[in-house]
Structure 1
Amino acid sequence: MFRHCHRIIFLIGLTGCFLALDDINCATAPEPGDMRGVGKVEFPISCAPAVQSEFARGVALLHSFFYEEARRIFTAVAERDPKCAMAQWGIAMTWWHPIWTPPTPDEMSAGKAAIEKAKAMNPGTEREREFIRALNIYYNSPDARTAAAVGQSCHGPVGPRDRVVAYETAMRQLRDKYPDDFEVQTFHAFAVLAVGYATLDDATLSKQLEAAAILEKLWKQNPKHPGVVHYLIHCYDYPQFAQRGLAAAQTYDSIAPWVPHALHMPSHIFTRLGMWDESVAANRASAEASRAYAAMRHRDATEAEELHALDYMAYSYLQEARDIEARKIVDFAGTVRKTNPELEFSGAYALAAIPTRYAFERNDWASAATLTVPKLPHWSSFPFMEALIEYGHALGRAHTGDHDGARKSIARMRELRDATKDPKFDYFKRHLDLQMQAASAWVAAAEGKKNEAIETLRRAADAEDILGKHPVSPGAFVPIREQLGTLLLEVGQAKEAQREFEAALKIYPGRFRGLYGAALAAEQAGDKQNASRYYAKLAAQTTKSGGSRDELNHVREFLAAQTKAPNSRDVANSRK
């Protein structure tokens, strides 16, 4: 454990930390994988008594998605007790990430090999045999012959649904056989959640709610169980359910193991509710844990988990107009040339998103128009992510009068969309279509075709609301409904603009652009009460801002005028 502040600073200095020293908490920093305030995980096994506690720790890290470190622990348990079948089960579990991306071919082979070893060892109890049987069913179920819609996660498309359903069915049988076994119930609830993630066409999110109902009951029995609280956050990580997940997010924020994903996960709820300070704190901790783990393993690449946390962190800073802090993250991301894993989905997304967001959220269209596409190997695997930067070019050029340049950028977006062949990424292709429509609308507006542009943006906004944000992203790149509100303001339709901004705020609460747009529209529409309300919320949200945005000058002027107006009336009344 790092027991002195100077050692923490030395570690962060070695790994190129972008954070200012006053952001570093000099209190004792846990080692990566430290359980902190997590309650005890009880998972009795028939293996040697000497490995019981380490096995339970591996299970706790498994619940926190620290798969690499959990695998090290289960491997060590297997070395200490070569006859421990459940150690092989644990190893096999670490190769499958139920609500992340599916195993690669090599990972699938490693998982199958481990579960075959577990089966051959003649597990000591029926309960252990059932756990192993269920996981064996996952690894050996055939994939569907016909392509189906693929669910999405913060680490990319999830695996084939048929395998997950087969595993959940087996775990349901285990649950029925051991109704009072806490870990059996927890792993079954997680299996139900995995089916929900793999079921893209269920608008009711029935499986997520089924899993949540199980987990809520378990939470009352063990308030500090790492898996139960963690999985609840995933169950509620949707706009309509985010408020339900707040208690779990706040609890997990205080008990989460010192694991990058675990520390980051509460911010999914905080971000959906516009709780920017909390999101910044969660993602700072996650990024620091990622860097510490990379240093522990002597890696020279930037962890994808760190980049994912930094994307959420930069987004949160920008909603508070803390542009200086966000700029440090942009600069750091610009230095990254190698990630671990090498071509990881969330890392690639962050490298495209961070600089583009920084320009968009500050209305810096000139910078958006000239964004650099980093020379990275990621774009060949994820061409649709390079298209996010081209979206920056398209909107930037459309807003700065370079209409031909905007058209070229839209054409390049189309090329990159068509280069995305894997059906697992159809979500991004659909979103790119909408973003191209938005960019084309701004070109049309600049050429005087205002009504056509408004209708195009309206259709695209409706479709984007239905499509929803991807879990990898803290929020849409300037939600198209916000863009519609902005154009309506430009053409003098303030009341209509206010409605659009308010509708956007229901999906993305607390967004700087959404609040400012709603306030400005209300002000221009003569709705002083709502204008004051939105401006006041924005003023309270940006108290840590460096004050570099012109919009904040207007916020202060409006609120100052509103304060003076009642005083002036009071003086006039007293004179009368």
Structure 2
Amino acid sequence: MKTARLMALTFSLAVATASPAWLYGADTPLNATAEKLGEVNFPVSCSADAQKEFNRAMALFHSFWFDPAKVAFAKVLEHDPGCGMAHWGIAFMSMGNPYTWAANPNAAAAGAPAAAEAQRVGAKSERENAYIGALALLLKDWQTSEFRPRALAYEKAMEGVTRQYPEDDEARILYALALNITASPTDKSFTNQLKAAAILEPLFKKYPNHPGVAHYLIHTYDYAELAEKGLPYARAYAAIAPSVPHALHMPSHIFSRVGLWPEMVEGDRASYLAAKAELKESTLGIGAYDALHAMDYMVFGHLQQAQDNAAKALLDEAAAISKVNVENFVAAYAFAAIPSRFALERGDWKQAAQLKLTPGDLAWHKFPQSEAILVFARGLGAARSGDVAAAREDVSRLEALKAALTAANNSYWAGQTDVQVQTVNAWIALADGRNDEALRLMRAAAEAEEASDKHPVTPGNVVPSRELLGEVLLITNQPTQALAEFERSLKRDPQRLRGIYGAARAAEASGNRQAAADYYRKLLEITAKRDTERSELVQAKAFIESQ
């Protein structure tokens, strides 16, 4: 543990001065102690002192700073024990990130007691009782019913609140959040997201310092096809609530979509440091939602810039953690994704084939979708290393994890795991010389992956399926088709190092030397601040010098 603490401290000192000024605003020094959460005015029929604390609690709420928000709502009750909306807030925050509710079987159980207390205490206004009633629908019969119908009932109830109280902007903000929560990942018309944006964008002009408006607009546009629209809000949010680790992190949801890797790393570094500062020394062996979430994003961003040494420092820090302070899906995802990314992004297939779940005593059975990330990476590494038997074992494990997710009605992650199964089977087929089958499976995986979308917990797939399809085409000596697939992949996942390198190789192999030179130059451009001289970059420089 001392080693982990020293490593964390060393890394923190190395990066503490690197946070860009845009994160904090021109007047805010990095060591500022004044709390900055943004501005929220959410009227409730409670005492004057309770109202003031409630506004602060809602500012924390809107930035998903869960534990401090629950403490703040508890303080509201100290001022006014009859403030039913404080129990409403505690219930909402107890459930954790709304974007993970469907995948978190403990969310409803955590929120139900406070929601029931909110109903028992009630409120002095019909408007507030409408909020409490809407939340009750989300949790109604949670032990025996599926999540999605309850979420849709909540969404409709919040729409009803906005219609009954058209001047209540907080209801409109929460309704927009509900639309995002219930948005289908397979709906490529983005019906819910565009409806949410139509609500939130005018409110951003009206309330430019409201944390929830900027925050939810980032989530609204966190899709490859919409990401450019989210840039103004990504650049605004961290300056609105610089005291909140999650607010410092959220802009990277958009930056990762458009390939702004330096901005992504800097924002997540600031979030990571803020989250680490929040933890006590005794809990430095962390599992905090904010810290690990930011670390995963940082590793991803560093690897796209060939900053492998920086990524390795974070990998080692995560590997040194033996006990987490909170076991949740986000922490489990980061523990699985960080080592998987490090191996796959560097093309180290033998390292990928040897991956193991850590920490070993984490309750991995609660998070099959997280385990599947690492098993997939391991299976892909085994297949690409020629160990077909080991790859088949990992396919069997993925099938079992998919069955567990299906049984839990977690259709999204069951679908993602099916894509992983098809992908590893494609590379097994390729290793066996069954090239046509390999291409068929990889095409099916790419189409299925693109019919859905990435989950908000991740900066991106540990490797895009269409990028892998391009690699299969290159290996099977079809460079022209490979170039088309790499270029298509880069439209969905722009500025990816391996995607650009693949396009360069495909263009070179197909005789298109100008396109190859352009891609190789792009590769050197995005890795201008690299800390590792990868073989891909040596090849790029050699090709350009030969022109």
Report if aligned partners of 1:457, 1:484 keep a CA contact under 8 Å in 2: yes
- Identify the residue that residue 3 of structure 1 maps to in structure 2: none
Query: Equivalent residue for 2:504?
Result: 519
Residue-by-residue CA offset, 1:345-369 (whole Å, 9 max, x unaligned): 1111111111111111011112112
Contact 1:208 1:235 survives alignment (8 Å) = yes
Alignment partner, residue 533 of structure 1: 518
**TM alignment of 1:54-65, pairs within 5 A:** 54-65=53-64
Q: Indicate yes or no: 2:532 matched with 1:547.
A: yes
Deviations 1:414-467 (A, max 9, x none): 344345454343333333333233223223323333233222222222222223
Two-structure CA RMSD over aligned residues (Å): 2.7
1:180 deviates by 2.8
Pick from 140, 155, 163 the counterpart of residue 176 of structure 1.
163
Relative to 1, partners in 2 of residues 1:465 and 1:88: Cα closer, same or farther, differing over 3 Å?
closer
Which of the residues 290, 304, 310 maps onto 1:325?
Answer: 310
Task: Select the residue among 481, 489, 502 that pairs with 2:487.
Answer: 502
Alignment of 1:216-365 (within 5 A): 216-295=201-280, 301-342=286-327, 344-365=328-349
User: Take 1:396 and 1:230, find their aligned partners in 2: how far apart are those partners?
Assistant: 37
1:474 corresponds in structure 2 to 459
Alignment of 1:187-198 (within 5 A): 187-196=174-183
Change over 3 Å in CA distance of 1:108–1:173 after alignment to 2: same
> Deviations 1:369-419 (Å, cap 9, x if unpaired)?
222333233322223433333323322222223233333333333344345
1:560 and 2:537 matched = no
Q: 1:378-393 maps to which residues of 2 (within 5 A)?
A: 378-393=363-378
Identity of aligned residues (%): 40
Letter in 2 for 1:99: Y
Tell me the CA shift for residue 295 of structure 1: 1.8
Structure 2 residue 354 is matched with structure 1 residue 367: no
User: Does the Cα contact within 8 Å between 1:18 and 1:329 map onto a contact in 2?
Assistant: no
In the other structure, the counterpart of 2:110 is 107
Residue in structure 2 matched with residue 74 of structure 1 by the alignment:
73
Closer, same or farther: CA 393–534 of 1 in aligned 2, 3 Å: same
Task: State how far apart, in whole Å, the 1-side matches of 2:168 and 2:272 are.
Answer: 35
3-state DSSP class of the match of 2:99? coil
Q: Secondary structure at the match of 2:474?
A: helix
Correspondence for 1:128: 128
Residue 299 of structure 1 and its aligned partner are, at CA, apart by 6.9
How far 1:209 sits from its partner (Å)? 1.1
Residue of structure 2 in register with 1:87 after alignment = 86
Cα distance, 1:514 vs. partner? 0.3
The Cα offsets for residues 290-330 of structure 1, whole Å up to 9 and x where unpaired, read as: 22222289675421321121111101111111000001111
Secondary structure of 2:495's aligned partner: coil
**Greater mean deviation of Cα atoms: 424-433 or 273-282:** 424-433
Asked if the contact 1:382–1:420 (Cα under 8 Å) also holds between the matched residues in 2, the reply is no
1:193 maps to a residue whose letter is: N
1:23 corresponds to which residue? 15
Report deviation, 1:20: 5.3
- The residue identity in structure 1 corresponding to 2:8 is G
Q: Tell me by how many angstroms 1:146 deviates.
A: 7.2
1:478 partner letter:
V
> 2: CA distance between counterparts of 1:513 and 1:273?
15
Return closer, same or farther for 1:113/1:413 CA change in 2, 3 Å cut-off.
Answer: closer
Q: Is the 8 A contact 1:115 1:136 kept in 2?
A: no
The question of 1:35 aligning with 2:36 is answered: yes
The answer to whether the 8 Å contact 2:50/2:76 transfers is yes
Report which stretch shifted further, 105-114 or 464-473. Answer: 105-114
Check whether the contact 1:47–1:83 (CA below 8 A) recurs between aligned residues.
Answer: yes
Q: Is the radius of gyration larger for structure 1 or structure 2?
A: 1
Number of residues paired by the alignment? 530
Report the CA distance shift for 1:508/1:131 in structure 2 as closer, same or farther (over 3 A): same
- The CA distance in 2 between the partners of 1:134 and 1:410, in whole Å, is 42
**2: CA distance between counterparts of 1:244 and 1:537?**
24
Indicate how the Cα distance of structure 1 residues 193 and 396 shifts in structure 2: closer, same or farther if over 3 A, else same. closer
SS in 1 for 2:511: coil
User: Aligned in 2, Cα 1:99/1:427: closer, same or farther, shift over 3 Å?
Assistant: closer
Letter in 1 for 2:113: A
Separation in 2, partners of 1:135, 1:311: 32
- Equivalent residue for 2:154, pick from 149, 167, 174: 167
Amino acid at match of 2:422: Q
Residue aligned with 1:500, SS: helix
3-state DSSP of counterpart to 1:173:
helix
Separation (CA, whole Å) in 2 of partners of 1:387 and 1:307: 18
Letter in 2 for 1:172: E
Q: In structure 2, how many angstroms separate the alpha carbons of the residues matched to 1:65 and 1:218?
A: 19
- Partner in structure 1 of residue 46 of structure 2: 47
Instruction: Report the Cα distance in structure 2 between the residues aligned to 1:15 and 1:366, rounded to whole angstroms.
Output: 26
| Corresponding residue number in structure 2 for 1:486 | 471
Q: Which deviations, in whole Å up to 9, do the C-alpha atoms of 1:55-83 show, x marking residues without a partner?
A: 21111111111122111111112112223
CA distance in 2, matches of 1:146, 1:113: 17
Distance (whole Å) between structure 1 residues aligned to residue 178 and residue 145 of structure 2 = 23
Q: Tell me, in whole angstroms, the C-alpha distance in 2 between the residues paired with 1:383 and 1:145.
A: 21
Secondary structure at the aligned position of 1:99 is classed as helix
For residues 240-267 of structure 1, what are the alpha-carbon distances to aligned partners after superposition, in whole Å with 9 as ceiling and x for unaligned?
Answer: 1111111111111322342232222111
Q: Distance in 2 between matches of 1:461 and 1:176?
A: 42
> Which secondary structure state, in structure 1, belongs to the residue aligned with residue 11 of structure 2?
coil
CA contact (8 A) 1:226 1:256 kept: yes
CA distance 1:85–1:452, shift in 2 (3 Å): closer
1:214 Cα offset (Å) = 0.6
Q: Normalising by structure 1, what TM-score?
A: 0.85
